Amino acid sequence: MVSVLERFLSYVVMDTESVDEVKRFPSSEKQKLLGEKLAGELKELGIADACMDEYGYVFASIPANTERSLKTIGFIAHMDTAPAMSGKNVNPRIVKEYDGTDIILNEERNIVLSPADDQELLKYKGKDLIVTDGLTLLGADDKAGISEIMAMAQYFMEHKEIEHGEIKIAFTPDEEVGRGMDFFDVKKFGADFAYTVDGGALGEIEYENFNAAGAKVIIQGSSIHPGSAKNRMKNAVLLGMEFQQMLPVNERPEYTEHYEGFYLLNSIHGDVEQAVLDYIIRDHSKEQFEQKKVRFQKVAGYLNDIYGEDTFRVEMKDSYYNMKEKIEPHMHLINNAKKAMEAIGVVPNVVPIRGGTDGARLSFMGIPCPNLCAGGHNFHGKYEYICVQSMEKIVELLIKIVEIYAE
């Protein structure tokens, strides 16, 4: 039997970083290399219909092994890693029986993972941690989820004496750039309901997520020789800074938590003549989400009144919505996840997602799909880590959920 750890270590060394703002799908062809590997491994487990489609989605079905009429349950994880930090040449290292002290990730660059900065580390004293070398992200988001689902699949293929309904598996590309469901074949997936395995620490269950929009502010300046600039130059970069300063300071991510929404300036680039600001807008409350979008547009309108019509142009598009309204009619998903955790000695922790998942969009496509823990911490950066024992426990959790739905 291949362990969840072995699977994880083999997946994270594959570069599957997705790319923002490209028209092709998936956004990077290298994601398909992992897809091919996963489809092959699923076939090796004996899952006959395992395949990767033209878009890079991997689908597989473990047939029901009972004559009883049971619901079809699905499990989903994404293959791509976030473009926020490089996923190339990932060099994972196992810290055996962590002793609660600083972990030197990269001695040459003095990059240290310390409980002084991350107190969550202390919960893992005596456990085994997988960390980065300080130069890349790790990829536990969401290759941990993939590994756990694969280990769960292997368990049921090797223990055919355990009754269960049909189990559907899907691995998706481009989740990190908000496009993971763009070409997802709901009919082919065929689940009555599902779970994404794409959350954080062991015990987390999530069925509330942000409403989300992407926004781009295009600023048209006017370049002229600085010696002749008085009353004539409009510096687009400086105007962009002015736009940013008019958004509420307390609604930046670094000042928010729990259900509090935010505006995030992801990037700014340009020059005197033209500048572009890329934002994401987030809020759990649909009402406050809409208010944030209106405020955003009002700031642009106010500045256009000052600097001239069409100096500021806003392009805005909703990305996904809070799945809470789609999950609440199916609270058995949450109750059974909690029941499964308690059965294996894990304390359930129902929390809102301060982000989104493929499951949020899938819930609006007709398949209710809350999110389960995958076990990682500090996603999208060099301080990302995961506990080996947490991954092993999550495999148990997935198995137990399937068993509960077969009771």
Beta-strand pair 274-283/211-220: antiparallel
- Asked if 275 and 219 touch (Cβ cutoff 8 Å), the reply is yes
Tokens of 183: 């070409």
Considering 15, 17, 41, 80, which one is annotated as catalytic? 80
In sequence order, the 6+-apart residues with CB closer than 8 A to the CB of 341 are: 203, 205, 347, 348, 397
Closest CA to 315 of 348, 293, 335, 331: 293
Look up 36 and say whether it is catalytic.
Answer: no
Does position 45 have pLDDT exceeding 90, yes or no? yes
Does position 1 have pLDDT exceeding 90, yes or no? no
Average pLDDT over residues 124-143: 98
Considering 15, 41, 148, 175, which one is annotated as catalytic? 175
Closest CA to 141 of 404, 383, 407: 383
Question: Residue 310 annotated as binding?
Answer: no
Average pLDDT, the chain: 97
> So what's the pLDDT on residue 6?
98
> What fold does the segment set 211-320 form as a domain?
Alpha-Beta Plaits (3.30.70)
> So what's the pLDDT on residue 295?
98
Does position 392 have pLDDT exceeding 90, yes or no? yes
> So what's the pLDDT on residue 21?
82
Look up 80 and say whether it is catalytic.
Answer: yes
Alpha carbon distance 352, 191 (integer Å) = 24
Scanning 45-162, the segments in alpha helix (DSSP H) are 140-158
> So what's the pLDDT on residue 97?
98
Tokens of 384: 């990302």
Does position 356 have pLDDT exceeding 90, yes or no? no
pLDDT tens by residue, 174-218: 999 989 999 999 999 999 999 999 999 999 999 999 999 999 999
> What fold does the segment set 4-208+322-404 form as a domain?
Aminopeptidase (3.40.630)
Domain 4-208+322-404 and domain 211-320 have a common topology: no
Question: Residue 159 annotated as binding?
Answer: no
Instruction: Classify burial at 285, counting beta carbons within 10 Å of its beta carbon; exposed 0-12, middle 13-18, buried 19 or more.
Output: middle
- How far is Cα of residue 357 from the mean position of the Cα atoms in its chain? 5
Question: Residue 198 annotated as binding?
Answer: yes
Question: Residue 141 annotated as binding?
Answer: yes
Instruction: Classify burial at 260, counting beta carbons within 10 Å of its beta carbon; exposed 0-12, middle 13-18, buried 19 or more.
Output: middle
Does position 102 have pLDDT exceeding 90, yes or no? yes
Average pLDDT over residues 64-86: 96
pLDDT tens by residue, 374-386: 999 999 999 999 9
Secondary structure letter of residue 107 according to DSSP: T
Question: Residue 176 annotated as binding?
Answer: yes
Average pLDDT over residues 141-168: 97
Sketch the domain layout of the chain as residue ranges. 4-208+322-404, 211-320
Does position 288 have pLDDT exceeding 90, yes or no? yes
Confidence of residue 251 (pLDDT cuts 50, 70, 90): very high
Does position 355 have pLDDT exceeding 90, yes or no? no
Q: Which helix (H) or strand (E) holds 302?
A: helix 286-307
Alpha carbon distance 62, 280 (integer Å) = 38
